[in-house]
Amino acid sequence: MEDTSPYIKDISSAEFQQEVLLRSREVPVLVDFWAEWCGPCKTLSPLLERITQEAGGRFELAKVDVDANQDLSAQFRIQSIPTVVAIRHGKEVDRFSGALPEASILAFIDGVMPSELDLMVDEARTALVAGDNTAAEHMLRQVLDQKPDHQEAGTSLAALLIDKGETEEAMIVLGKLIPDADVERLQSAARLRGSAGIDLTELEAAVRADPSDGNAQLELARALAAHAEYEPALDRMLDVVRNNGDLKEEARLAMVDIFGVLGSDHPLTVTYRRQLANALY
């Protein structure tokens, strides 16, 4: 299949991050999983291409040959083809399988296009990039006034609030959203950020005065984490897990919060998750 417009591309695994996930932050991308031997694909693909051309850039079409890109098929759990997956802001928002009629495809596309509220969130994010946090916050609050569980507006506002130290409101905002990976990461960040205002000098003095005081150790560890000093924070939390039975679970959860902020592949997460498992079991 040849590309027929600037809005239609054949995509390989190597190009997927740039051409689909990153591109979907600007316009929605429909990913058509197909194969040369698939009869229904030969019916659906030309129809998708024509609809994409007629849309004039409202969305883009990425065509993925499942035989040549089996890793992508596995990643998206493609069980039959053709399957079309709609991606916005790097995430799947909907999908369908089979050679649907044109009216059904158009209805599907209408369902995944950005709403007026979605466009307001995009405008708010543009303001954030430009450094106008006040305007961004105002727009995000307007969106959430109309739809309190708007996922992108909620996570964007929560991130702003956490940066400002308003962690309690951030947790309220996040509590209204679907608990996906972004929400969980921000909840972890909010819990850690809550200790940012505590005086490190006083906490360090309390620990020196009584090194066996698990509460003081844990408070110092949280404050260190709030200042992004993750490794010494994890060291102290791990020590509490090992030596303070009553505080073991609290310290474990604090370590999990740091893992959530750093990400599962971060070297500190990998190292300390293993040490935490050894300490617990």
- Does 179 lie in the same domain as 228? no
Active-site annotation holds for 41: yes
Burial of 35 (0-12, 13-18, 19+ CB in 10 A): middle
Tell whether 184 is covered by a domain: yes
Tell whether 2 is covered by a domain: no
* Catalytic member of 38, 44, 136, 216: 38
Tell whether 89 is covered by a domain: yes
Tell whether 3 is covered by a domain: no
| Boundary residue ending a domain (193, 209, 225) | 193
- Does 146 lie in the same domain as 218? no
Active-site annotation holds for 91: no
- Does 130 lie in the same domain as 69? no
Tell whether 268 is covered by a domain: yes
- What's the pTM? 0.69
* Catalytic member of 41, 174, 216, 234: 41
Tell whether 96 is covered by a domain: yes
- Does 81 lie in the same domain as 19? yes
For 14, other C-beta atoms within 10 Å of its C-beta total 9
Q: How many domains does the chain have?
A: 3
Q: Domain containing 174: what range?
A: 116-193
Q: What is the pLDDT along the chain (281 residues), one digit of tens a residue?
A: 444 589 999 999 999 999 999 999 889 999 999 999 999 999 999 999 999 999 999 999 999 999 999 999 999 999 999 999 999 988 898 999 999 999 999 999 999 998 899 999 989 989 998 999 999 999 999 999 999 999 999 999 999 999 888 999 999 999 999 998 889 999 988 988 877 777 788 888 988 898 888 888 899 999 999 888 999 999 999 999 988 778 899 999 999 999 989 988 899 999 999 999 998 87
Buried b vs exposed e over 124-154: b needs ≥16 C-beta within 10 Å? bbebbeeeeeeebbebbeebbeeeeebbbbb
**Residue 165 CA from chain centroid, whole number:** 21
Tell whether 1 is covered by a domain: no
- Does 107 lie in the same domain as 12? yes
